[in-house]
Amino acid sequence: MDPRAFRQALGQFATGVAVITAEGAGGQPIGLTMSSFNSVSIDPPLILFSIDRKAFSLQAMTEARGYAVNILGRDQEHLSNKFARALGDKWEAVEHTLGHEAAPLIAGALAHFECAPYAQYDGGDHVIFVGRVVKFSAYPANEPLVFFRGAYRSLKDTERSPEWPLPMHY
pLDDT per position in the chain (170 positions), as tens?
Answer: 888 898 888 888 999 999 999 999 899 999 999 988 999 999 999 999 999 999 989 999 999 999 999 999 999 999 999 999 887 789 999 999 999 999 999 999 999 999 999 999 999 999 999 999 999 999 988 899 999 998 998 887 555 555 656 555 54
For the domain made up of 3-153, give the CATH fold.
Pnp Oxidase; Chain A (2.30.110)
pTM beyond cutoff 0.75: yes
Contact status, residue 62 vs residue 120, Cβ threshold 8 Å:
yes
Three-class secondary structure of residue 36 per DSSP: coil
Cα Rg of the chain, angstroms: 17
Nearest-10 Cα torsion for 17, 23, 24, 28: 100
Q: How far is 124 from 126, CA to CA, in rounded Å?
A: 5
Q: Residue ranges per domain, the chain?
A: 3-153
Three-class secondary structure of residue 81 per DSSP: helix
DSSP strand pairing (126-138 vs 37-41): unpaired
Residue 159, pLDDT score: 54
Q: Report how far apart, in Å, the C-alpha atoms of 121 and of each of 99, 130, 143 are.
A: 25, 8, 32
Distance of alpha carbon 84 from the chain centroid = 11
Give the DSSP letter of residue 55. -
Q: How far is 32 from 87, CA to CA, in rounded Å?
A: 10
Residue 94, pLDDT score: 96
The total number of residues written for the chain in this structure:
170
